[in-house]
């Protein structure tokens, strides 16, 4: 029996693009939310191949993509396809039966629960992540390294328009918002305004995936946005949040210990309790094998905290 396995990697998921970051990110912009992470295994003989479709949050997608690659090496006869799109897209897809697993970096909202009552959505936490208030490195090095919740709220509601008012250079703030259904936005807005759907009247731009947000922030010298802490890099710096006189940076350590206030569980969502190969895959991600994947992706494994 000739068993030849081809692994297709359309685009690899690495977090440090270095000099090519902007170019790579622009390619990502183009494919903007769909179809960037697709890994599959094809078999050259006719046999029933089970397909797992995984869709959703671009924050969780790196975990799913890495896990899919490792899992399909061990299990022949399974094909796993991972796609981005955002948490809202993931929940919608699994709720409507368009995917076996929906990825979400936020909780399922009441409205979504009601809409997909029949699907009986179950969530499985696979890791933990912090949402950082991210700024262009120029701003960070010019001295704006910490902000209070009220200051961030004022930026996003349009009351503060210049970095000068925050101790930075005399430049207008490029306020970057995200698409409304995105998990990162829900978590961030819930922290800043206490409302997951809060409106950001001061926003100048709306972006989608983590990649798009990060490339926009790094392209500018005066931008502020919201970003999964794992996506921060040299050009895009996470700001420390100041609470009661204490500043807490979105470092891995602070997220692990729960000290950093804006954290969320990264979820795999299934319709009903998972069975068969689906259960095996989820157990794999939540087990020892998954632990190293979660760490490698820059997140905190769920069982260690």
Residues that bind another protein (CB under 8 A): 23, 26-27, 29-30, 32-34, 85-86, 88-89, 92, 96, 98, 111, 115, 171-174, 177, 179-181, 196-197, 199, 203-208, 219-220, 222-223
If the CB atoms of residues 122 and 171 are measured against another protein, the closer one turns out to be 171
Side-chain half-sphere exposure of 44, counting CA atoms within 13 A = 7
If the CB atoms of residues 203 and 302 are measured against another protein, the closer one turns out to be 203
Angle between helices 61-74 and 288-296 (to 10 degrees): 140
User: Minimum distance between the CB of residue 294 and another protein, rounded to whole angstroms?
Assistant: 25
Euclidean distance between CA atoms 104 and 59, whole angstroms: 8
If the CB atoms of residues 241 and 267 are measured against another protein, the closer one turns out to be 267
User: Minimum distance between the CB of residue 186 and another protein, rounded to whole angstroms?
Assistant: 10
User: Minimum distance between the CB of residue 87 and another protein, rounded to whole angstroms?
Assistant: 9
Look at residues 210, 185, 187, 207 and name the one whose alpha carbon lies nearest to residue 84: 210
Look at residues 200, 190, 183 and name the one whose alpha carbon lies nearest to residue 89: 183
Would you say 55 and 97 are in contact if contact means Cβ atoms under 8 Å apart? no
Look at residues 283, 258, 293, 250 and name the one whose alpha carbon lies nearest to residue 127: 293
If the CB atoms of residues 33 and 233 are measured against another protein, the closer one turns out to be 33
User: Minimum distance between the CB of residue 192 and another protein, rounded to whole angstroms?
Assistant: 16
User: Minimum distance between the CB of residue 227 and another protein, rounded to whole angstroms?
Assistant: 17
User: Minimum distance between the CB of residue 197 and another protein, rounded to whole angstroms?
Assistant: 4
Using DSSP's 3-state secondary structure scheme, residue 124 falls into strand
If the CB atoms of residues 172 and 272 are measured against another protein, the closer one turns out to be 172
If the CB atoms of residues 196 and 295 are measured against another protein, the closer one turns out to be 196
Euclidean distance between CA atoms 15 and 231, whole angstroms: 7
Euclidean distance between CA atoms 60 and 125, whole angstroms: 10
């Amino acid at each position: 029996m000739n068993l030849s396995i081809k692994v297709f990697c359309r685009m690899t998921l690495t977090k440090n693009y270095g000099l090519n970051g902007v170019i790579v990110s622009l390619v990502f912009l183009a494919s903007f939310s769909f179809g960037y992470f697709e890994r599959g295994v094809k078999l050259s003989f006719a046999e029933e191949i089970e397909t797992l479709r995984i869709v959703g949050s671009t924050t969780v997608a790196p975990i799913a993509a890495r896990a899919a690659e490792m899992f399909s090496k061990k299990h022949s006869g399974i094909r796993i396809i991972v796609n981005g799109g955002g948490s809202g897209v993931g929940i919608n897809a699994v709720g409507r039966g368009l995917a076996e697993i929906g990825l979400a970096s936020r909780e399922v909202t009441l409205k979504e629960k009601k809409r997909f009552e029949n699907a009986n959505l179950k969530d499985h936490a696979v890791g933990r992540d912090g949402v950082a208030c991210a700024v262009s490195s120029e701003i960070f090095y010019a001295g704006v390294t910490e902000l209070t919740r009220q200051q961030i709220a004022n930026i996003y509601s349009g009351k503060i328009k210049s970095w000068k008012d925050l101790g930075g250079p005399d430049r207008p703030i490029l306020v970057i918002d995200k698409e409304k259904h995105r998990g990162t936005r829900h978590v961030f807005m819930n922290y800043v305004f206490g409302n997951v759907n809060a409106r950001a009247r001061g926003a100048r731009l709306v972006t989608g995936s983590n990649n798009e947000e990060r490339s926009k922030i790094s392209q500018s010298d005066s931008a502020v946005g919201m970003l999964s802490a794992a996506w921060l890099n040299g050009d895009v710096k996470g700001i420390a949040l100041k609470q009661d006189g204490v500043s807490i940076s979105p470092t891995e350590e602070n997220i692990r210990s729960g000290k950093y206030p804006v954290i969320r569980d990264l979820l795999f969502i299934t319709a009903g309790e998972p069975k068969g190969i689906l259960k095996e895959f989820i157990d794999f991600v939540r087990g020892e094998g998954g632990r190293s994947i979660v760490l490698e992706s820059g997140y905190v494994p769920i069982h260690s905290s």
